Amino acid sequence: MRPNYVYLAIPWLACLVACFLVNVFYFPHATVFPDEQRFMASAAKLAASGEFWVGSDRAWEMPGTALFFAPMVRLFGAEVLPIRFAQSILVIIQSGLIAMTARRLFASPLPVLVAASVAALYPFTLFYQGLMLSETLFTTLLVASVASLYWWRERGMRIDGRLVVACLCFAAATLTKATLTILPPLLIAATAFTAGASLRRAGTILLVSAGLYGAFLGPWWVRNAVVLDAFVPFTTGSAQNLYLGNNAHNFDAGIDWSTDTDTALVKKLLAMPNEVKRQAEFSRIAVDYIERNPAAFIRGALKKFVRFWNPVSNAPEFRTAIYAVVSAVSFTPVLALALLCMLRLRRHWRLLAPLYLIVSYFTFVHIVTIASLRYRFPIEPLLILLAAEPLAALIERLRARAARLA
């Protein structure tokens, strides 16, 4: 039975009202964090010159966020409210995509409405849409990728336009944030295999999806080859995160460049004008540290695992009582219900395997590099998707009990 999406008008309207209040009255009418200033500067440079820069670098991060911000920066200058409004619309789109995916996962319409409603009003989502960061756009594109992946799965996993759409969505997400790297073709092939495709068929899908994914990323590769005279498939900044998370000065798996690194060495490396060579040097130092200190690397990975899945913020400025309560009350039930869903639907693990793989992949990437709640945020809509099933079952049980008592 299809859910009645008319009911989603209520949480969507509530979402827009909440976004308005957060954007106008909670945040100042200016950027809050240094990363926001970097994204806005890149967007302004892109709008003015048509060229993508991150400071003096050409490929330090992916260009998707700057491309999204640039038209609004061109029209409204440094005003942040238009971008915040656009990102609040993205939250509604995320909720709709979550509803579409939930309909393909669960037999009852109630989990669809629950998942979409929670996704629209989730406090972390309302918070991040008010910041000039990559998280809201990237999360929307990741959710769109998952929705298109299940659409393709439901329609027979053929090599057709649906596969093209899935690869395009994954490529757009990667062009916004490089976290996915080579995962999408592997994920698509694994989705086919766990759904019953033969190993040969899954291999064919892997080759086709890799070709499509590479074709969509191709303009970025060509552009980087022209401006950097080197093959840079993703970014030149990723190695810095690898170094930050893996060096002899980082005792607590932190993410503070001023305390968790050899600041003199970092200053020397950042002075290198060639960003490709700078990336190679950061990578060399980090890999050398990991090879020489495997036990320390494992200890750090365990600490980063705790940081990544911490129900409350790791940052001191967000450890006040109100932030801790909001964070714990928001995320802890979602995580607990998602785990309960995995237990309840353990016999349907093949259907949910793509979600498990994405969550596992993000966890792995960030325990190897650096971890924080911000980097976990893009997979939280997927956890909400899982959490909706047992929550809907609980609502149904309470509703049935109330009917019996009436």
How large is the average pLDDT for residues 201-226?
A: 98
pLDDT in tens, 160-194: 999 999 999 999 999 999 999 999 999 999 999 99
Output b/e per residue, 283-315; b: 16+ Cβ within 10 A. Answer: eebbeebbeeeeebbeebbebbbebbebbbbbe
391: pLDDT strictly greater than 70: yes
The overall average pLDDT reported for the chain is 95
Running DSSP on this structure, what letter comes out for residue 54?
B
Question: What is the pTM assigned to this prediction?
Answer: 0.96
Whole-angstrom distance, CA of residue 358 vs CA of residue 145: 11
Predicted confidence at residue 55, as pLDDT, reads 96
Whole-angstrom distance, CA of residue 166 vs CA of residue 153: 10
Predicted confidence at residue 300, as pLDDT, reads 97
DSSP E strands: which ranges in 126-263? none
Domain extent listing, the chain: 5-405
**Residues in Cβ contact with 256 at an 8 Å cutoff, skipping those fewer than 6 apart:** none
312: pLDDT strictly greater than 90: no
How large is the average pLDDT for residues 3-23?
A: 91
Running DSSP on this structure, what letter comes out for residue 218?
H
What percent of the chain stands above pLDDT 70?
Answer: 98
137: pLDDT strictly greater than 80: yes
CB-CB contact of 39 with 46 (8 Å): no
Residue 347 CB-density burial (10 A; 0-12 exposed, 13-18 middle, 19+ buried): exposed
* Complete DSSP assignment for 264-282: HHHHHHHT-S-HHHHHHHH
Quick one: residue 220, left, alpha or beta (phi over 0 = left, psi -120 to 50 = alpha)?
A: alpha
Rounded to the nearest 10 degrees, the angle between the axes of helix 161-176 and helix 183-194 is: 140
How large is the average pLDDT for residues 67-81?
A: 96
Q: Considering all CA atoms of the chain, what is the largest pairwise distance in Å, rounded to the nearest integer?
A: 74
pLDDT band for position 2 (50/70/90)?
A: low
Q: What is the dihedral of CA 332, 323, 371, 270, to 10 degrees?
A: 170
Residue 124 CB-density burial (10 A; 0-12 exposed, 13-18 middle, 19+ buried): buried
How large is the average pLDDT for residues 135-154?
A: 98
pLDDT in tens, 259-301: 999 999 999 999 999 999 999 999 999 999 999 999 999 999 9
Predicted confidence at residue 406, as pLDDT, reads 72
